[in-house]
A and B are shown apart, each in its own frame.
Chain A
């Protein structure tokens, strides 16, 4: 794929920015660079890794999924309610329930976007509120805390496999699966094709409807799984968890070089974008930056990274394709 090849320098640039950033943080708070802490940062960023990859798949098709955080919170609440009602449910069953919940919520988005052909931003903005509202309804406004969750459920994200916390292991497995899916299956290649030029993709015999429906289901399933992991990690489920997190996920994609116009983006880029944000949110409290400055500082750093990073994207060739492709937007 040409789009993939073009992005290599861009990712190298982002990796270099991350190294410089780590160096600067280390000057002020050396404790941040300890292996234990860096592992902690990676673990904390696990949610962002998975959600950014799923969001990238959606954005590749010129879509967007704003309902990911609401889906995460609703699926998390459903799993917690199930766990509270039946404390004996095994983890695989709970995982299956989380994935199923995410799948249904994602399929609802996908159906409206692919079959009814409503713009993704409108659909997912609506379902964002619906899913958040549903949490309130099914839980009756209650907050469920670690007191309502079974021991094995709470222990899962923290337990380790080969020295790595399960949460990070799951994120790594999901990343590998995404890499295989996007780079080594026709489904993945079709996503790039649809975003790059929908008209051409249709002439090539790619079913846009089915492909787009599937990508929102994929995004939903990942959100659902993250919902289980989120509530078990933080030990709390209520309507406000991960509020506004969808914007962090989209920011990770954009920083990682995923083009909002569709068709461009790579696994490594999205992961690096997520890592960059993960480092910033974890470093600010350790660096003891005044809380009144934190939001401003993180915004400036993000913008700087995007500006530095975007300079490698200017290519004369892209403009030629842009205009005709737009007309064929699904």
Chain B
């Protein structure tokens, strides 16, 4: 096994020999990993970059190249990847603008020995070694139930305010929430209704008003949609029911700041982009160093995120969604 210490020794020797004789060998010690995002200037990805730098600092031998197109198009992203191939980076972690369009260029990169993984928005399996999902459906469903249960002290009537009745991800999450609710810890909690706000602010608001009227004993609402959670919290404030009905679910800190300040929302969650960028660089570095193949079944050591196992369909679920409340929302509201 080619240990890290060994690498450092060789690096030290190369430095002694001076830069004139063996520059290429010295450069080979440092891993250059590109973090390719959908587009530059997006707060979410800037936060991913910050996490990536944290991972690089921890690993010591990694240089992060943060890049991406100026527009969220596959064409521009392909051009960026082509230039990275020309620069012979060691690995790329990509959030794709198009699942399939990036496959040929990523195949080309892998044929040249560059390790390609995708994170956040995946590339089709043929074009990457693995995909890092910010979370998985079971974790998301469980998290939603856990948050509202904690706020309500594990008792009372709750309802779900979803997006559209046909939304695949929403329905999977709702299914997982129902599974979680079957656990004995939630015996005193009752799911009384599931309504659909269609991800439209005024319809979500009206559905929330309907829930309040139709279920006088309602104590909590889970809205696993960024539109729904904002509208539901607003409806609770407008009905002067803050402190009596709590809204939780999935939302963005910047949009939820007012809801948390008013007290309509105690906690809510979303994937943490800093952790996502951190994990992406950690995984890419391990594969680039040859410590693991990243093939299904292998285990990846991801520092503070713990060990993650690659699933049979070559994906990795990072972690529980990250919880936001009064204590940390101001910090994250500035980021995304």
Interface residues of A (CB under 8 A from B): 29, 31-32, 37, 40, 44, 143, 145-147, 158, 230, 234-236, 240-243, 281-282, 284-288, 291-292
Can you report 30 A-B residue pairs in the complex whose CB atoms are below 8 A from each other? A29-B213, A31-B213, A32-B213, A37-B213, A44-B209, A145-B255, A145-B258, A146-B234, A146-B258, A146-B259, A147-B254, A230-B202, A235-B234, A236-B227, A236-B230, A236-B231, A236-B234, A236-B255, A240-B201, A241-B202, A243-B200, A282-B210, A285-B195, A285-B211, A285-B214, A286-B213, A287-B214, A291-B165, A291-B195, A291-B196
Indicate if the CB atoms of A147 and B258 lie closer than 8 Å.
yes
- A285-B258 contact in complex given A234-B231, A234-B234, C-beta closer than 8 Å: no
Closest to A44 in B: B206
Indicate if the CB atoms of A240 and B213 lie closer than 8 Å.
no
Closest to B165 in A: A291
Any A CB within 8 A of the CB of B25 = no
CB distance from A114 to the nearest CB of B (A): 32
- For A286, the chain B residues whose CB sits under 8 A away are 210, 213-214
Assembly CA distance A235 to B234 (angstroms): 7
- From B210, B230, B231, contact of A285 by CB (8 A): B210
Indicate if the CB atoms of A285 and B201 lie closer than 8 Å.
no
- A235-B230 contact in complex given A37-B213, A288-B214, C-beta closer than 8 Å: yes
Assembly CA distance A158 to B306 (angstroms): 49
In the complex, besides A40-B209, A285-B211, A291-B196, 5 extra interface pairs with C-beta distance below 8 angstroms are: A145-B255, A146-B258, A147-B258, A240-B201, A243-B200
- A236-B201 contact in complex given A147-B255, A285-B210, A285-B211, C-beta closer than 8 Å: yes
CB distance from B201 to the nearest CB of A (A): 5
How many B residues touch the partner, as a band? 20 to 34
- For B193, the chain A residues whose CB sits under 8 A away are 288
- For A288, the chain B residues whose CB sits under 8 A away are 193, 214
CB distance from A92 to the nearest CB of B (A): 24
Indicate if the CB atoms of B206 and A282 lie closer than 8 Å.
yes
Interface residues of B (CB under 8 A from A): 165, 193-196, 200-203, 205-207, 209-211, 213-214, 227, 230-231, 234, 238, 254-255, 257-259, 333
CB distance from B12 to the nearest CB of A (A): 49
- A145-B230 contact in complex given A234-B201, A285-B195, A291-B195, C-beta closer than 8 Å: yes
Closest to B210 in A: A285
Closest to A285 in B: B210
Indicate if the CB atoms of A285 and B234 lie closer than 8 Å.
no
- From A29, A32, A143, A158, contact of B255 by CB (8 A): A143
The residue in B209, B210, B227 that gathers the most chain A C-beta atoms within 10 A of its C-beta is B210
- A292-B165 contact in complex given A29-B214, A285-B211, A286-B214, C-beta closer than 8 Å: yes
- For A235, the chain B residues whose CB sits under 8 A away are 230, 234, 258
Closest to B207 in A: A285
- For B255, the chain A residues whose CB sits under 8 A away are 143, 145, 147, 236
Indicate if the CB atoms of A234 and B205 lie closer than 8 Å.
yes
Assembly CA distance A31 to B238 (angstroms): 19
Assembly CA distance A58 to B55 (angstroms): 62
Closest to B252 in A: A143
Assembly CA distance A243 to B165 (angstroms): 18
- For A230, the chain B residues whose CB sits under 8 A away are 202
- For A243, the chain B residues whose CB sits under 8 A away are 200
Q: Which 10 A-B pairs have CB atoms at the shortest separation, nearest pair first?
A: A285-B210, A146-B258, A147-B257, A147-B258, A291-B196, A145-B255, A286-B210, A234-B201, A235-B234, A285-B207
